[in-house]
Copies of this chain bind each other. A is one copy, B any other.
Amino acid sequence: MEHTHGHSHTERADACAPAATARSVSEQLAIVLGSVDPLPPVRVELDEASGLVLAEDVLTVTDTPPFDNSAMDGYAVIRADLLEASAHNPITLPVVADLAAGTDQNPALAPGQVARIMTGAPIPDGADAVVPIEDTDQGTEQVTIVRAPEPAAHVRRAGEDAHAGDRVLRSGSVLWPTRVAAAASAGTSSVLVHPAPRVAVISTGSELVAPGSPTRRGQIPDSNSFLLSAAVAEAGGIPARIGAVPDDDDVLRAVLTELAGRVDVIVLSGGVSVGAYDVVKAVLKPLGTVDFGPVKMQPGKPQGFGRWPSTGNAPGPLIFALPGNPVSAYVSFEVFVRPALRRLLGHETLQRRTVTATVVDGWRSPPGRAQFMPVIVTHRTDGTEDGIEARPASRGGSGSHLVAGLAQSNGLAIIAEDTTQVRGGDLITVMLTS
């Protein structure tokens, strides 16, 4: 079942009717990514660009370097004057100028003349090599030179790095620090990038109170909004942690309506099951734009994906309705939300790194559902990946409520649908989450 946006509500209601059969994880991911494009580019100052993805090629404004300059502190010379220079035959020449970095002086050298020159200063007309100060007596009126320079020694040529108009960075590149530097060096002060998505994070459940608040019987601290906000930030998004909303259709609807024009994505947790108070399902399902077809995975089977209805020209925010159990919410975030956020950011690589690991303690996996088991990945011996081991982070297995165990996990073991028993010694694929 294809999941697209921009159709009328009527079409959507049909398209998003409950699936006759549950979807596999890869089918669900294809539906999610098929609905997500990189956010429209914006121009930002270089100081704000680090870590974002370029949406344009960056071309050099001028040659880099823009003029011949010295690679050393020393003396700009005419090499022909010094072919015979050596420790046994020092040659002394008059110093006619002193060229600091940043100078615009250009004192043309006549034969027999030299200019003191600092690293980065422009090579004066006539000079064709630089003698480092280590090969001189460091004189300022005249200088004695004890070594003949090689041709063009220590001269950085204009355009040696790049010519004006050359592409120094291509569209789609991640602006890691050295690329920010390359853009600066090319003479660029701002770049066109895909912006970071603004992501509202909402927990639902009348049992939830803010951590640190007193709880009475029936209440527990909200942890999912912290979990998912931190995960959004780690993925490169800008989280807006709304916190907990009670199981009240009108309240949730009002919160979502208020957010619709202000964020790119809304991540909900809880209220997606089959209970009488499943507020997320109650509010979103009638819209016809959010699909709750079950996914063949454990944990995370019940969840929804779609969009809040558009109210203008722009599409409504993406909506991920994740299960309420923290482990289920976390796994669903890693499997579906994080790749979608990276697509919004313009990244080409959407998935985390995986490794092959050897199982230490086995566990069971449900038939017909892909299992994502929080594991602790360790290096057996020498730190190479040959020696990677994985064991369940909670002795109790993949139970969805084991937050403390989850906190120690640094990977998710990915167990295929048709596997029902994972045994010690098995080789498995683990998605590394930290």
A interface list, Cβ under 8 A from B = 46-47, 50-51, 62, 64-67, 71, 73, 98, 100-106, 116, 118-122, 133-134, 156, 160-162, 166, 168-169, 174-190, 205-208, 210-213, 215-224, 226-231, 233-234, 241, 246-247, 273-278, 324, 326, 330, 356, 384-385, 396, 400-407, 409, 433-434
Indicate if the CB atoms of A102 and B206 lie closer than 8 Å. yes
Residues of B within 8 A of A104 (CB): 216-219
The count of identical subunits is 2
CB atoms of A402 and B100 under 8 A apart: no
Q: Which B residues touch A160, using CB under 8 A?
A: 396, 401
Bound together, the chains give a CA A215 to CA B205 distance in angstroms of: 60
A234 touching B434, Cβ below 8 Å? no
Q: Which of B122, B156, B179, B222 contacts A184 (CB 8 A)?
A: B222
A397 to chain B, nearest CB (A): 12
A182 close to B324 (CB less than 8 A): no
> Chain B residues with Cβ under 8 A from A406's Cβ?
178, 181-182
Q: Is the CB of A178 within 8 A of B407?
A: yes
Give the nearest-CB partner of A73 in chain B.
Answer: B275
Q: How far is the CB of A412 from chain B (nearest CB, A)?
A: 11
CA distance A324 to B181 in the complex (A): 13
User: Known interface pairs A188-B212, A273-B73, A276-B118. Does A101 touch B234 (Cβ–Cβ under 8 Å)?
Assistant: no
Cβ contact within 8 Å between A227 and B401: no
Residue from A133, A186, A187 with most neighbouring chain B CB atoms (10 Å): A187
Q: Are A118 and B277 in contact (CB under 8 A)?
A: yes
Q: Considering only CB atoms, which chain B residue lies closest to A58 in the complex?
A: B407
How far apart sit A185 and B215, CA to CA, in the bound complex (Å)? 12
Of chain B, the residue at the smallest CB distance from A122 is B218
Most buried by B among A105, A156, A181, A356: A181
Beyond A102-B206, A189-B211, A226-B180, whether A217 also contacts B122 by CB under 8 A is yes
Add 16 more A-B contacts to A103-B206, A161-B401 (CB < 8 A): A46-B211, A66-B219, A101-B218, A102-B208, A102-B219, A134-B274, A160-B401, A175-B230, A176-B434, A177-B231, A179-B407, A184-B221, A184-B223, A186-B404, A188-B211, A188-B212
Please determine whether B273 and A227 come into contact, CB atoms closer than 8 angstroms. Answer: no
Q: How far is the CA of A189 from the CA of B217 in the complex (A)?
A: 19
Whole-angstrom distance between the alpha carbons of A434 and B402 in the complex?
32
- With A104-B217, A168-B404, A207-B120 known as contacts, the answer to whether A227 contacts B181 (CB < 8 A) is yes
In the assembled complex, which residues on chain B have CB atoms less than 8 Å from the CB atom of A174? 434
In the assembly, what is the distance between CA of A324 and CA of B73, in Å? Answer: 12
> Are A71 and B401 in contact (CB-based, < 8 A)?
yes
Say whether A50 contacts B106, CB under 8 Å: no
The 4 A-B pairs with the shortest beta carbon distances in the complex, nearest first, are A189-B212, A102-B206, A73-B275, A181-B227
State whether A234 touches B182 (Cβ < 8 A).
no
Chain B proximity of A151: nearest CB distance (Å): 17
In the bound complex, what is the Cα–Cα distance between A212 and B160 (angstroms)? 20
Indicate if the CB atoms of A207 and B71 lie closer than 8 Å: no
Q: List 5 A-B contacts (CB under 8 A).
A: A47-B241, A100-B247, A119-B275, A178-B407, A186-B221
Q: Could you tell me if B118 and A180 are in contact, using CB atoms closer than 8 angstroms?
A: no
Please name all residues of chain B whose beta carbon is closer than 8 Å to the beta carbon of A212 when the two chains form the complex: 187-190
